[in-house]
A and B are shown apart, each in its own frame.
Chain A
Amino acid sequence: MLDFLWLIPLLPLASAALLMVTAGSLPRPLIAACGAGSVGLAALCVLLTGLSWAHDPVPRQMELWTWMQVGTLRPTIGFYLDGLTLVMMSVITGVGFLIHLYSTEFMEEDESLSRYFAYMNLFVAAMLILVMADNLLFLYLGWEGVGLCSYLLVGFWYRDPVNGAAARKAFVVTRIGDTAMALGLLLLFTELGTLDIQQLAELAQGKWQPGDTTIVLATALLLGGAVGKSAQLPLHTWLPDAMAGPTPVSALIHAATMVTAGVYLIARNHELFLLAPPTLLAVAVLGLLTLLLAAFTALNQHDIKRILAYSTISQIGYMFLGLGVGAWSAGIFHLVTHAFFKALLFLAAGAVIHCLHHEHNIFRMGGLRTRLPVAFWSFLIGSAALAALPFTSGFYSKDQILLAAYQWPQIGPWLWAGGLLGALLTAIYSFRLVFIVFFGEAQTEPDRQPGWRMALPLSILCVASIVGGWISLPLAEALPATQSGHPAAAVEWISIAIPVIGVSLAYLIFLGRQLDLSALVNSGLGQRLHQFWYSGWRMDALYNWLWVRPYQFTARLLKDEPVDLAYNGVVHTSVALHHLLSNLQTGRMRWYASTMVGGLIVLLAVLARAG
C-alpha cells in the first residue's frame, strides 16, 4: 500500500474532476455515491497504509516526479510519510468521510448537489496534499487549494450577497496570512536553496544558532500564514462569518481540518521553530490570548454556529499554546480529539438546524432533549469533550497541554492560569448551549428526524469523542518529546476540577436558575460588556476602522487620481494602439507587400547602425 500513496489524494481529486466536468448531469444518487464514496475509499486506503506502515514505522519520502528543473529550482511532487502525516491523513479522510456521508442527507434537497460534492472532494484532495507534501512548495499548493475550496464553500449559497461577502472576507483575511507565508518560503529558499522540509530542517540547524534573526523572521512569517489559516489573533475575524456555508462544510473545513492546517504547519516545521525561541513564545502567547478572547465572545453569542465557531478559535488557541510551550504531541493530540468532538458538535448542530427550519438562534430553540434525542446525546457528549470533563477525549489532550504549559520556564504558570480560565469559560459556554437548546421549554417544533445517514456519523463520532483520548498517536518519531516530570498533584487536581466547576456554574446559571446574574447582566456595565463581547471584542469594528475604511477611503480618493490615471492610461494606450494597428491591417496585398519591404529596409538599417 505504501507504493500507492498517491492514490489517496487522487481518489477525491478524480471524483471532484468528474463531478465538475459532468456539471450535475449525473443522477443524484450517483453524485452522492461518488462524492462520499471516493472519500470513503481514500479513508480505506489510509487505513491500509497505516497498517502496512505500522510494520516498519520509519519515516519515508516518496518522490513521484520532478515538476520541472530549471537552474537550482527543482520543485518536486513528492510525499513524506511519518506518524504525523498518518495522523493527519486519518483525521482528514476518516472524519471527512463521516461528514460526506452526513452531507448526502443534509444536502439532499439542494439543487447544486454536484457542485457541493465537487468542492468538498476537491477540498479533501487539497488538504491531503497539504499534509502529505514533502516540500513546502507542494504544501503551499495544497494550502492555497484548501483556501480556494473554503472560499467556494462559504459562498456556496451565492445567491445571498451576505454569503458572498463572508466568503470574500474569509479569502481576503487568510490571504494576508498566506502572503506572509509566501514571503517566508521565499526567504527560506533564498537562504537555504531548497524547500524540501527534511532538508530545510537539517540545513537550518547547520546554518543558524537558536535565536538568529533570519530564522526568527522566517518562522515569524510562517507563523503569519498559520495564524491566518487557523484563525488566530489577529487574523481570526473571518471564521465566525465563514459559518455562512452549509453546516457540514463548517464541520469539515472550519472545525475539523482546514483551520488546523496552521497547527500542522508549525508542528511539521518544528525544527525550524525550535531554532527561534521568540517565535515559539509568540505562538504560545497568541494562542493564549486567542483562546481567552474567543471564549469570552462565545459566552455571549446566540447563533448556535457562531458559538461553535468561536469555540473552534478558542480550541485552536489551546493547540497553539501547546505547540508554543513545546508540547508538540499534545498539540497534535488536541487537534485530533478536537476534530472528533467539534465535528460531532457541528454535525449535531446541523441536525438541529436541519430539523428546525434552518433556525440558528439558540433562544428560539429549547426543550429538544426529548424531541431530537440523537442530536441531544451527540451534543451532550460533544460538549462534555469540549469542556474537557474527565474521561472524555478532550480532557486528556487539554490536560496534557495545560500541564506542559505549567512546566514551561518563566511565564509557564501564567500561561497555565490563563489556560485554566479559558477551560472554565469553555465549560460554561458549552453547557450554556446544551442547557438552552435542549432543556427548558420548547420554542420551535422540529419537522423531521435525522435519518440514518446523519445518525450514523453522529454515533461514530460520539464514540470517537469519548474513546479518542485513549488512542496513542504514533508521534514519538515525528515530534520531539515533551519534557518529562510531573508537577505537583495540586496542579493536576485543579486542572481536573476546573471543567466540573464550569459545568456546575453553567447549570446554576442557565438551568437551575439558582444563580441569578440578571442584575449583573442588566446593569449598565454588564450590558456594555455583553455588547462588547457579543461583537467579538469589537475586532470587526476595529479592523473596519483601522484597515477597511482607510483602504476604501484611499481607494475612493484615488479613484480619479494620478495612480489610477496611470492604469487607465495603460488601457487607453493599449486600445488606441490596437485601433492604430488594426487600421494598418487593410486587407490590401499591395500594402502588405510594401510593409514587408519597409520592414526589410528598417532591418537593414538597424544592422548597418549596429554593425
Chain B
Amino acid sequence: MTGSTTAELIPFIVYFGGVILLVLTMLGLSFVLGQRRTNKATNTPYESGVVAVGTSQIRLSVEFYLIAIIFVIFDLETVFIFAWAIAFFELGWQGYFAILVFIAMLGVALVYAWRCGTLEWGVKTRVGLEAKDN
C-alpha cells in the first residue's frame, strides 16, 4: 500500500485502538475499584428496588409475536404516508395515485392477515381450516 493510503487508514487504527482501550479501561476500573460483597441480594437482578418475583423464563404465546410483528409492520408503514402527506402539493396527482396503490397494498395485506386468523387470540377461524379446529 502506498504511503498516502496508510496515512488515510491511521484514523481508523486510532479509532479501533480507542474502542478497545475504552472497553478495557471500563472493565478494568470496575474490577479494580468495585466492591466485593457476597450478600443474598448480590446476584439477583436489579429491578429498580422492587424484589423480583417468579422466573424470567415465561412462555409467551406465539400469537404475541404475530400480533407484535403485524403491529410493527403497519405502524412503520404510516411513516411513508406521513412523508407523502408533508409533500402533498409537490407530489400532486401522481403522488396521490402512488400512495393510493400503496394503501391498497396495505389493505390487501390486512385482509390477508385478518382472514388467516393472525389477529385472533386463541381459537383460530382461518379460511379453509374451520373443520379442523372444531
- A contact residues vs B (CB 8 Å cutoff): 608-609, 611
Contacts and interface: CB of A to CB of B under 8 A. Distances in A.
Nearest to A608: B1
- Interface secondary structure of A, over-half rule: helix
Contacts of B1: 608-609, 611
Interface string B1-43: 1100100000000000000000000000000000000000000
Majority secondary structure of chain B interface residues (helix, strand, loop or mixed):
loop
Give the size category of B's interface with A.
Answer: under 10
A99 B2 CA distance: 79
A608 B1 CA distance: 6
A378 to B, nearest CB: 78
Contacts of A608: 1
Closest 4 CB pairs of A and B: A608-B1, A611-B1, A611-B5, A611-B2
Contacts of A611: 1-2, 5
Contacts of B5: 611
A423 B2 CA distance: 87
A611 B8 CA distance: 14
Nearest to B6: A608
5 contacts: A608-B1, A609-B1, A611-B1, A611-B2, A611-B5
A52 to B, nearest CB: 63
Nearest to A610: B1
B2 to A, nearest CB: 8
A549 B95 CA distance: 88
A526 to B, nearest CB: 92
B9 to A, nearest CB: 9
A426 B86 CA distance: 106
A609 to B, nearest CB: 8
A609 B1 CA distance: 6
A353 to B, nearest CB: 73
A532 B1 CA distance: 80
Contacts of A609: 1
A611 B6 CA distance: 11
Contacts of B2: 611
B13 to A, nearest CB: 13
A608 B2 CA distance: 9
A608 B9 CA distance: 11
Nearest to A611: B1
A611 B1 CA distance: 5
B59 to A, nearest CB: 25
A608 B6 CA distance: 10
Nearest to B9: A608
A609 B5 CA distance: 12
B31 to A, nearest CB: 28
Nearest to B5: A611
A463 to B, nearest CB: 78
A611 B5 CA distance: 9
Nearest to A609: B1
A605 to B, nearest CB: 11
A609 B2 CA distance: 10
A611 B3 CA distance: 11
A40 B70 CA distance: 72
B4 to A, nearest CB: 11
A306 B1 CA distance: 78
A608 B12 CA distance: 15
B5 to A, nearest CB: 7
A164 B2 CA distance: 68
Nearest to B2: A611
A611 B2 CA distance: 8
Interface string B62-106: 000000000000000000000000000000000000000000000
A362 B95 CA distance: 99
A493 to B, nearest CB: 96
A588 B77 CA distance: 37
A316 to B, nearest CB: 73
